[in-house]
Amino acid sequence: MCALVVGVLAASAPVLPAQAFVPVQVASSGTQPPTDPLVGAPGLGDPYYPDDGNGGYHVEHYAVAIDYDPPTRTLTGTARLSAVSTQPLREFDLDFNGPAVQQVTVDDLPAGFASAGKHKLVITPALPILPGLPFTVTVRYSGIEADTPDAGWTISPSGGAFAAGEPHSAATWYPLNDTPLDKATFDLTVTVPRQWQVVSNGMRIRDEVNGPKRTVQWATRHPTLGYLTTVAIDHFEFLNQRRADGTPLISAFAPQAGSRKALERRLPEVLDFLESLYGPYPFESGGGIYVDTDLHFSLETQTRPIYAPWTDLNTVVHENTHQWWGDSMSVRHWSDVCLNECFASYTADYLWPERKEGKDVDAQYRMTIAKLRDNPKFWAIPLQNPGAGREFTAVYYRGPLFLHALRHLIGDGVFFPAVARFVQSHADGRASMPEFRRFVQDTTHTDLSGFFAAWLDASTPPPDRYLYPGSLHA
Ligand SMILES: [Zn+2]
């Protein structure tokens, strides 16, 4: 994700970050593990969002079909989840706060269901599920979608809609195990009135008009997470491009976003650049979704980021860096979000300007430090484990400084191969900040423990030897 304010900070202006603009779901602290060993734990223990997900199964594939009528905002959906139980289950839950649920089946047998809390759908199968076995859950739901800008289903100026929000958004339009610990493949079939267009993640498998209706199917071959899935329904114009290796790049432009086509034409160049840093592009397709809604952020939805109207080249580089750092390799817990945002911001704010535009980024770094080292607010939020509700703050404005200092400390010849190997070795998986620290430490004889503690754990400026390592020393 990239916020509008980030660009200002990236330009080294002495502006302090605005408060996190993302509506924060306050983590409830009252989640207790169930005493019943046959009930999947309601929440997987994320330190910031302990209620997210369920401990009794993991999902392998989502097949979601929705019928959406823009004029009435009526969404009728069927979500079929292919899952594997990790324990005996007489009850489990999904995360869902979308339209009213009408029917749930487990292995095609009617199951009991009830809503609980803000986003839980508790399901009681007719027969308990044995541990280690595959099972399917089908949820049918229908109703009028609420407009939840920045946090899920969002109505666009034309009356269309799209889904976007981090860390939560998917539960507003389909039921899922909404945790970074459970990646799954995802395909989506959308039926709309024929004059509307539909774009989503991955590859477009079909686009058919039958009478008054259009049905479009999109599918991803790589596992993904809820907030990285999206659907957008609008009167889109499309731009079709290809990378030199043939990878299709499909981009969509809402009615007032057509002027962004020239920007999106640079996507092949952006992906080539990122590939030179981080290894092969991790997905089978790419592109972008340029909305014309007054959105406060752009978001790295998998293969096809959603771009707010203020998007510029920096944003395109940032969201596409996330395809490696955040999407293919996702966080283990939300406290690891520096893996996503420190790298996306460093790549867009430092590496692209340095390598593609000839900017003196060492000077940019020194100027930023000179302006902000004595400002306690700038250092107040740690990069690693920033705290629930503060995870989308310091990682944008201090993350690039951390990585630039690390690069100077260990040298380009160690830094670049190490970060590329790290992200590639976790493709289609997940990683944590502690793993990253161990991995980088293993690549060098330099003891990094003091450096990492000063830059990642502290909430005060690092000492000079860590602020100005190597040739950064004035
Ligand atoms: Zn980001």
Q: Give the phi and the psi of residue 355 in degrees, each rounded to 5.
A: -80, -30
What's the rounded Cα separation, in Å, for the pair 74 and 49?
Answer: 30
pLDDT above 50 (res 75): yes
What is the per-residue pLDDT for 151? 92
Q: Ligand 1 mean position to 47 CA, how many Å?
A: 20
Average pLDDT, the chain: 93
pLDDT above 90 (res 232): yes
Neighbours of 23 (CB within 10 A): 14
Q: Ligand 1 mean position to 63 CA, how many Å?
A: 27
Q: Give the phi and the psi of residue 377 in degrees, each rounded to 5.
A: -65, -35
SS3 content of the chain, % helix, strand, coil (to 5): 30, 30, 40
Average pLDDT, integer, range 334-358: 98
What's the rounded Cα separation, in Å, for the pair 185 and 80?
Answer: 12
The position carrying tokens 């990878």 is 247
pTM of the predicted structure, to 2 decimals: 0.93
Q: How far is CA 444 from CA 402, 413, 439, 440, 454, in A?
A: 17, 11, 10, 7, 18
Q: Ligand 1 mean position to 134 CA, how many Å?
A: 35
What's the rounded Cα separation, in Å, for the pair 257 and 295?
Answer: 13
- 137-185: pLDDT as tens digits: 999 999 999 999 989 999 999 999 999 999 999 999 999 999 999 999 9
Q: Predicted confidence band at 29 (pLDDT cuts at 50, 70, 90)?
A: very low
The percentage of residues in the chain with a pLDDT greater than 70, rounded to a whole number, is 93
Closest CA to 338 of 407, 393, 274: 393
- 378-421: pLDDT as tens digits: 999 999 999 999 999 999 999 999 999 999 999 999 999 999 99
Q: Which residue has the higher pLDDT, 35 or 127?
A: 127
Closest CA to 306 of 240, 394, 233, 399: 233
What is the DSSP code (8-state) at residue 325?
A: B
What is the per-residue pLDDT for 474? 64
DSSP-based three-state secondary structure for 200? strand
What's the rounded Cα separation, in Å, for the pair 97 and 169?
Answer: 10
Q: Ligand 1 mean position to 54 CA, how many Å?
A: 26
- 35-60: pLDDT as tens digits: 688 898 888 878 999 999 998 999 99
- Dihedral angle of Cα 264, 269, 270, 276, to the nearest 10 degrees: 170
Say if CB 415 and CB 451 are below 8 A apart: no
- 423-471: pLDDT as tens digits: 999 999 999 999 999 999 999 999 999 999 999 999 999 999 999 998 8
pLDDT above 80 (res 17): no
What is the per-residue pLDDT for 35? 63
Average pLDDT, integer, range 291-302: 96
∠ CA(94), CA(168), CA(428), 5° rounding? Answer: 80
Q: Ligand 1 mean position to 67 CA, how many Å?
A: 31
Average pLDDT, integer, range 350-374: 97
DSSP-based three-state secondary structure for 49? coil
Say if CB 217 and CB 187 are below 8 A apart: yes
Q: Ligand 1 mean position to 318 CA, how many Å?
A: 6
Q: Ligand 1 mean position to 2 CA, how many Å?
A: 4
Which CATH architecture fits 330-473? Orthogonal Bundle (1.10)
Q: Which residue has the higher pLDDT, 182 or 26?
A: 182
Domain boundary assignment for the chain: 330-473
- 85-109: pLDDT as tens digits: 999 999 999 999 999 999 999 999 9
Give 255: exposed, middle or buried? Use CB within 10 Å, 0-12, 13-18, 19+.
middle
Q: Ligand 1 mean position to 347 CA, how many Å?
A: 11
Q: Ligand 1 mean position to 252 CA, how many Å?
A: 20
The percentage of residues in the chain with a pLDDT greater than 90, rounded to a whole number, is 89
Say if CB 16 and CB 377 are below 8 A apart: yes
